[in-house]
Amino acid sequence: MKQADSPETAKRLLELQELDSNIMRLTKRLEDMPEKRAILQTRKKRVEVDALLQKAKLLSSRLEKDISRLDDECRSLGSRIDTEQAKVMSGSVTNPKELVAITREMDSLKRRRDKLEVDEVILMQKAEKATAQTAVITKALDQLAKQEEDQKAQFVEVGSKVQDETARLTVQRTRIAGSLPADILARYDEIAKAKGGVAIGHLDGKSCSACRMQLPAEETEKLHKGPALATCPACRRMLVVDLPGGEVE
């Protein structure tokens, strides 16, 4: 019997397939870890909340500028009112018409100032609400940042165990792969690449364990009369037929 077709080679190929299947499972588990999804969801929420924070800060900044502008205008009007008041009080203006004109101007300036002061109070109330909203959003953002850090720590803890197990199995795979004939290993790798990582099955009754196709009786009889390592007529994967002592699971 050729070494490539020997029961020992077939047994090692099955062991290699089992290791590869477990490594694929662990790799997928690492990619699909709930902790990873939780981190991504929290990160997305942080982006959304940060956008709200920037809007709140922009609103606060705009309100502060408007308040400052109104405050400057109120002071300017107050200064003009004081100037006109000083003219009246100084006695330097004696023309009745001019005095009436100054009085009317002062009244107009006062009405304008009163309106600006009301507008300023309204803006200050809005600014106070915007500041409170900014504080609430900032607190929520800080909580999300803490939540993400905790999730990262959990991901590292769980992920490290998965990675350690993957590394352990990879060492075993390297050892078994190194014990196989080069041509058999190359064929195994080629089939695995083409068949979603499953390169070999075993004859389970009249079916291939890899593709689950039931083979005709004459095919199974022919396979049993041949070497321990054959090819599945249905899926063209490598097929382990018989091993001594019924070692095929």
Instruction: Assign a CATH topology to domain 3-28+181-244.
Output: Helix Hairpins (1.10.287)
Q: What is the average pLDDT across 101-113?
A: 90
CA distance 79 to 30: 72
pLDDT in tens, 132-143: 999 999 999 999
Question: Using an 8 Å Cβ cutoff, are 199 and 189 in contact?
Answer: yes
Cα angle vertex 34, ends 169, 43, to 5°? 125
The yes-or-no answer to whether 3-28+181-244 and 33-178 have a common fold is yes
**Maximum Cα interatomic distance, the chain, rounded to a whole number of Å:** 134
pLDDT at 149 over 70: yes
Residue that the structure tokens 């199974």 belong to: 220
Question: Using an 8 Å Cβ cutoff, are 116 and 73 in contact?
Answer: yes
| pTM summary value | 0.60
Residue partners of 132: CB distance under 8 A and separation at least 6 = none
Question: What pLDDT is recorded for position 1?
Answer: 41
Instruction: Assign a CATH topology to domain 33-178.
Output: Helix Hairpins (1.10.287)
CA distance 27 to 55: 41
Question: What pLDDT is recorded for position 187?
Answer: 95
The domains of the chain are located at: 3-28+181-244, 33-178
